[in-house]
Structure 1
Amino acid sequence: MQALRQIRENSPVAIAADQSVFDAADVYNAVRMGAADLIVLGLHETGGVVPFIEAAAVAAAAGINICLHGVHETGITTCASNHAAAVITNLDDGNQYMNHLLASDIISSPQLSLVDGRLPVLAGPGFGFEIDTDAVAKAAEEYQASL
């Protein structure tokens, strides 16, 4: 955080804290130190939906936005991230959804298609997805064959 703060103090470019912030306490430290103009954070870093929302609330209290960080995730995580992002007040642009980079997924719906460069808030019960049981079985077979 100290290095980010020094860069931010000496740069005309906005600085994002990415992969140096993992929970609400880290967000608090980044804010307290003046280390970032933006926080890049995801469910995989915070440990789930509720810790993500808590970390985003800390940033919001300081007037700092969140960009959603993605990894090579299945549609399950994308749906969960979508719902978490929909309820925070400080979501910025430039969010990452990486499930489309997978050769195949283990959900049958929704399609997770971008509309005007954005993933719409998903409808449906829970996180809004349906498991593709055939795809899960195929993935399990491929995993067992790789052992």
Structure 2
Amino acid sequence: MRINRIEAYYVDIPYLEPFRIALGTSRMSRNIVLKIYTDEDYRGLGEACPSRRITFDTLESSIEALEKLSSKILGKDPFRIEVFQEIYGSVRGNTSIKAAIDMAIYDLIGKYCGKPVYKIFGGYRDEIETDVTIGIKSPHEMAESAKKWVKKGFRKIKIKVGINPAEDIERIRMVREAIGDNVELRIDANQGWSVEDAIKVLNKVEKYDIKFCEQPVLYTDIDGLKKVKENSPIPIMADESVHNSRDALKVIEKDAVDLINIKLMKSGGINEAMRIAHMCEAAGVPNMIGCMGESKIGITAAVHTALAFKNIIYYDLDSDLLHREDVVLEGGASIDNGVRRIPTDIAGYGIHRLRIKMLHPIKIWRL
């Protein structure tokens, strides 16, 4: 079996409302949808969600990278995963488009084998419970949003902070009071605090029973992360500080965090995500799997990843719930009261139909 065609499309996916984090505000995700075909008539789906702030790539840089990668991918056997890892290394950065290729290849493999992707890896669990994320707004607005999601059945709430320490404490207090004591609360500062402010805030909000805090300080400040961890009563999770297994090794060796967040867009796909998860498991560092602005395509690939690997025990796979419309029309990961599942009788990711009207052609590459 050989790859003989690659199709790329861009999709514009508006958010239900402006989504603000410490790094900026998003109103829309402009993503790339990939369709990769083989000479045996199998098709794999993948998605890239470029982010200038997180993965340091753009739609334009991703397309440029795909131009370079496509000629090396065409003609290859999709089962030769390590060959693809070498190919990805020929282009610097642009991990989101590499993730899209990697996703599509695993979808192909699952379809060829007649199995869900997560079962190819062993299938450790059958379902996951995701949180839902609330962007930065006034404390009152965030509390009201949290209550609405809890009424919809979600039992895990994540809130964005990192703009102003005093206001962040108020946000955390009001959200906790709004959702009560039986709902899990997580916070994410997206690098917004100084080391000193992070330590002060985390000690002041200990009484609100925070499950963990993501990326309190600048992603390059591993020593700062370690200092926060050593002085915080709340577990610290690395997000932007860890893109790949090399980054994971650095923070593990420094004992800088309690947890590490894996994202397919950061890692460049499932294969590298697996390496991070296995490395962290060996080191006794649990993982979360998160997302950026992916549609249900990327979310479904991430759910398969979450189901496959034992060490991924926390889940932040909610971006499709924050969008006004999704490119997936039928199939993919289901959601029910925060619980995401994949049907056991599907092949690949189980995505059956896309909203064609949302797909804007970029280019087709042929063997």
**Which band: TM-score by shorter chain?**
0.7 to 0.9
The equivalent residue for 2:275 is 54
Residues 1:69 and 2:290 are matched in the alignment: yes
Whether the 8 Å CA contact 2:333–2:342 is kept in 1: the answer is no
Distance in 2 of aligned mates of 1:73 and 1:30: 26
Whether the 8 Å CA contact 2:303–2:333 is kept in 1: the answer is no
Distance in 1 of aligned mates of 2:269 and 2:308: 14
The equivalent residue for 1:136 is 356
For the structure 1 residues 108 and 41, does the alpha-carbon distance in structure 2 shift closer, same or farther, using more than 3 Å as the test? Answer: same
| CA apart distance, 1:125 | 1.0
Residues 1:125 and 2:322 are matched in the alignment: no
Distance in 2 of aligned mates of 1:28 and 1:111: 33
| CA apart distance, 1:31 | 0.8
User: Please, which of 11, 18, 22 is the counterpart of residue 239 of structure 2?
Assistant: 18
| CA apart distance, 1:112 | 3.5
The equivalent residue for 1:110 is 331
User: Please, which of 306, 322, 328 is the counterpart of residue 85 of structure 1?
Assistant: 306
Secondary structure of the corresponding residue to residue 79 of structure 1? helix
Residues 1:42 and 2:263 are matched in the alignment: yes
| CA apart distance, 1:65 | 1.0
Distance in 1 of aligned mates of 2:243 and 2:358: 33
Whether the 8 Å CA contact 2:263–2:273 is kept in 1: the answer is yes
Gaps of at least 5 residues in structure 1 are none
Pairing 1:2-13 to 2, within 5 Å after superposition = 2-13=223-234
Number of corresponding residues: 140
2:274 partner letter: I
Secondary structure of the corresponding residue to residue 93 of structure 1? strand
Between Structure 1 and Structure 2, which shows a larger proportion of helix residues?
A: 1
2:282 partner letter: A
Whether the 8 Å CA contact 1:67–1:94 is kept in 2: the answer is yes
Whether the 8 Å CA contact 1:46–1:52 is kept in 2: the answer is yes
Distance in 2 of aligned mates of 1:127 and 1:67: 20
Gaps of at least 5 residues in structure 2 are 1-221, 363-367
The equivalent residue for 2:322 is 101
| CA apart distance, 1:95 | 2.3
Secondary structure of the corresponding residue to residue 12 of structure 1? coil
Secondary structure of the corresponding residue to residue 92 of structure 1? strand
Distance in 1 of aligned mates of 2:343 and 2:249: 30
Q: Deviations over 1:13-69 (max 9, x none)?
A: 111101110001111111110111111121001001111111111111111111111
RCO comparison, higher one (Cα < 8 Å, 6+): 2
Secondary structure of the corresponding residue to residue 334 of structure 2? coil
1:129 partner letter: I
Distance in 2 of aligned mates of 1:70 and 1:122: 21
Runs of 4+ off more than 6 Å:
none
Q: Specify the structure having the higher radius of gyration (Cα).
A: 2
TM-score normalised according to structure 1 size = 0.85
Whether the 8 Å CA contact 1:83–1:122 is kept in 2: the answer is no
The equivalent residue for 1:27 is 248
